[in-house]
Every structure is written in structure tokens, then in C-alpha cells.
Amino acid sequence: RSTGPHLHYEVRHNGDAVDPLRFLTVGKKVAQYL
């Protein structure tokens, strides 16, 4: 159960969940994508 507002984020490739960090450019801050 969630205790408040939240965001679910996932990346899928060919139907399989994959680590989204693989798609972020090295050196960029994750905050830029939020």
C-alpha cells in the first residue's frame, strides 16, 4: 500500500522490464528526467 502520492516508473524492452539507468546519459542528473 502507498502512504501518499507517488510515481511508478519503468522501462520495458520487448515486453521485459529493464533497468532504466541503462538509458540515461552518463553525467546527467536523474532529476532532469523527473
- Quickly list DSSP for 1-34: --SS------EEETTEEE-GGGGSPTT--GGGG-
Q: How many CA atoms lie within 13 A of 4 on its CB side?
A: 0
Give the pLDDT score at 5.
Answer: 94
- Does 30 score more than 90 pLDDT? no
pTM summary value: 0.41
Does residue 34 or residue 22 have the better pLDDT? 22
- Of 8 and 29, which is predicted with more confidence? 8
Look at residue 9 in the predicted model and tell me its pLDDT: 82
Q: Is the pLDDT of residue 10 over 60?
A: yes
Q: How many CB atoms are located within 10 Å of the residue 1 CB?
A: 2
Decide which of 18 and 5 is more confident: 5
